[in-house]
Structure 1
Amino acid sequence: MKFTLNKNKIKYSILVLTLFLFASCSDEITKPINDVYISIPDHHFETILIEQGIDSDGMVNQQILKTDAEEVRRLDLNLTRDFGEISDLTGIEGFVNLTLLSAARQQIEAVDLSFNTRLDTLLLQGNYLTSIDLSKNPNLILVDMLSNQLSSINGLSGATNLKKLNLSWNNLEEFSIHNASLEVLHISQNLLKSIDTNGAVNLKNILLTSNELVTVDFSFNTLLETMLISDNKIQNINLEQNSNLTHLYITSNSLTSLNVSNNQELVDLRVDRNPSLTCIKIHSGQEIPTVSKSDYQELNDICN
């Protein structure tokens, strides 16, 4: 009886030891694989990587070598349109040396770019993004997210080299940006009720057509050359500090008065379809080569 008990104990011990060793070996096998490969669950994404010679194993197997991803500096996923549309960019986190990412006209609803810290160019036009966090992308220079469903965008304040930002055709209701480096800002066709650009002191071009703005203040943006703000609800605007303006489009608003007498560089002025605006004040002798106005409007150096 004693011998049988010891024998059973020996069998049990061997079984436990075997299971322990197997588990340990499994961990050792799994760990190197995770260190070597990056998961690419979207087969359209992986197929494009194969087509461009980035995924070196040449097989659609939902993974790519980490070293393959780390070698890529510029990734344009729009070079070929024959492989279907990408809906999941999982795996992009492995492309840690990317400076350019283009994934326009896909079906992307969310993306994590927190590991792509070297990005300077981001092109995500025509997707289905509702929000995005760019707080880990301080090197951005150009961002184009035209035609998404964005209601929020976070982290732009850290992009101290940002020059061009396109957020047109989205769902933004308010927007604030104070990047001194910014030169071009496009946010047309949104739901904007307020915008604050006071800190963007080098802004030269702003496009805000087709929003719901009632008032705007660009007095801090003294370098503005092009101001396109037609199709809003703007009732008044002070352009005294914007002496560099060359193009002012402010049609289809609710203006009751407009003074452009201090805007001597104007070459194109469009003020038609402001029902309550009958007189646009100009400086005596000021000539504006192109003017679009309604029949009931006049340019005069004296406006009552």
Structure 2
Amino acid sequence: MKFTFTRNKIIYPIFVLALFIIVSCSSNNENEKPVNDIYLSIPDDHFETILIEQGIDSDGIVNKQILRRDAEEVSHLDLNLTVDFGEISDLTGIQGFTNLTFLSASGQKIETIDLCLNTKLDTLYLQANYLTSIDISNNPNLILVDMLSNQISSINGLSRATNLKTLNLSWNNLEEFSIHNESLEVLHISQNLLKSLDIDGAINLKNILLTSNKLTAVDFSSNTLLETLLISDNKIQNINLQHNSYLTHLYITSNSLTSIDVSNNQELVDLRVDRNPDLTCIKIQSGQEIPTISKSDYQELNNICN
């Protein structure tokens, strides 16, 4: 029996598969030059100059490329050690640093970043850039992510960062935020535009900073390990804290509360509830002592509130 094969039928599915892999893990920079097995493209002169200064780019010449092996030898990359070479606007080439565990590129002019191939990253500092979105779906080893002061309106892949402990997204443009990540312990997301917050899936959160947003309602019933909750300067009308018995610091000034009950929060040492115009009574348990309290003149602490 003789078998015959059509060449196109074999090549086509292979081509489609290869194309899928490339598209699903590619740079966002359309101007990126092709790379080969020997060299990585580094189109940003400031980026390459810093790599030369730190002894990473071994040829010592700003020529928009470095040896791939030079990049692969780096596990710790701090692009903020020197400030004399201008600001980086393009981090194309960072994908070739496949053994990176630490990356700091703060105070630059970076608008996009592709960390698809930096799968070993555990620490990421990208404060004070111009990022509008970021995808960390391929960075499961991340422990700390700090993207303070960008223009971020979306972030993808948080649920896959199963080792994540600290996340800082303060001073960004988020209007809604949802996270289902059981490893997260510290969440800073102040000075955003938040109207919606879903953190039910972050059951190990201990510290939350949510000041200066637009939240009208919050639910912390699943976050039973909470110790610090800073949520001042929002529009919150009511809050239920009966499940947060470990709470030590509660800042909820400048909101729209009409009532609040902290009688089940026996560990409280610092309570700030002033500047809630419609809140006159803060319910506490009889004999409950809170060392530091900040309240308005028209407010009182009582074990009975009507």
**TM-score between both structures, scaled by the size of structure 2:** 0.88
Give 1:34 shift. Answer: 2.0
Counterpart in the other structure of 1:6: none
Counterparts of 2:290 and 2:36, CA distance in 1: 65
Counterpart in the other structure of 2:36: 34
Counterparts of 2:180 and 2:220, CA distance in 1: 12
Unaligned runs of 5+ in 2: 1-34
Q: Deviations over 1:143-198 (max 9, x none)?
A: 00000000000011100000000000000000011110000000000000011111
Counterpart in the other structure of 1:266: 268
Counterparts of 2:90 and 2:160, CA distance in 1: 26
Counterparts of 1:84 and 1:188, CA distance in 2: 29
Counterparts of 1:45 and 1:209, CA distance in 2: 35
Counterparts of 1:34 and 1:97, CA distance in 2: 18
Please show how residues 83-122 of structure 1 align to structure 2 within 5 Å.
83-122=85-124
Residue aligned with 1:34, SS: coil
Counterpart in the other structure of 2:6: none
Q: Deviations over 1:53-79 (max 9, x none)?
A: 000000101000000000000100000
Unaligned runs of 5+ in 1: 1-32
- Identify which of 168, 171, 186 aligns with 2:170: 168
Q: Report whether the alignment pairs 1:300 with 2:302.
A: yes
Counterparts of 1:211 and 1:159, CA distance in 2: 25
**TM-score between both structures, scaled by the size of structure 1:** 0.89
Residue aligned with 1:199, SS: coil
Counterparts of 2:295 and 2:158, CA distance in 1: 38
Counterparts of 1:299 and 1:178, CA distance in 2: 36
Give 1:199 shift. Answer: 1.1
* Identity in percent: 82
- Structure holding more helix per residue: 1
Residue aligned with 2:37, SS: helix
Counterpart in the other structure of 1:280: 282
- Identify which of 136, 139, 146 aligns with 2:138: 136
Counterparts of 1:291 and 1:178, CA distance in 2: 33
Aligned length: 273
Please show how residues 1-304 of structure 1 align to structure 2 within 5 Å.
34-304=36-306
Residue aligned with 1:191, SS: coil
Counterparts of 1:160 and 1:40, CA distance in 2: 31
Q: Which has more radius of gyration?
A: 1
Counterparts of 2:125 and 2:242, CA distance in 1: 36
Residue aligned with 1:221, SS: coil
Kindly provide the amino acid, as one letter, of the partner of residue 241 in structure 1.
H
